[in-house]
Amino acid sequence: MTNHKNGSNGNPSAMLLPGLDGKRVVVTAGASGIGFAIAKLLHEQGVRVAICDIDSAALDKASLDLGGCIAEKADVSDNSAVEAFFYKVQNEFGGLDALVNNAGIAGPTGNLEDLSPDDWRRCIDVCLTGQFLCARQAIPMIKASGGGAIVNMASAAAKHGYAYRTPYSAAKFGVVGLTQSLAKELGPDNIRVNAVLPGIIEGPRMEGVILDRAEATGVNIDAMRNTYLKSISLRRMTSPKDVATTVAFLVSDLGFNLSGQSLGVDGNVETL
Catalytic site positions: 168
Nearest to 38 by CA among 53, 57, 56: 53
Burial class of residue 43, CB neighbours in 10 A (0-12, 13-18, 19+): buried
By the 8 A CB rule, do 128 and 55 touch? no
Burial class of residue 190, CB neighbours in 10 A (0-12, 13-18, 19+): middle
By the 8 A CB rule, do 50 and 24 touch? yes
DSSP 115: S
By the 8 A CB rule, do 34 and 242 touch? no
By the 8 A CB rule, do 216 and 110 touch? yes
- Side chain identity at residue 141, one-letter code: M
- Side chain identity at residue 100, one-letter code: V
End-to-end Cα spacing for the chain = 42
Burial class of residue 241, CB neighbours in 10 A (0-12, 13-18, 19+): middle
Please list, in sequence order, all residues whose beta carbon lies within 8 angstroms of the beta carbon of residue 48, skipping any fewer than 6 positions away: 22, 23, 24, 25, 69, 93
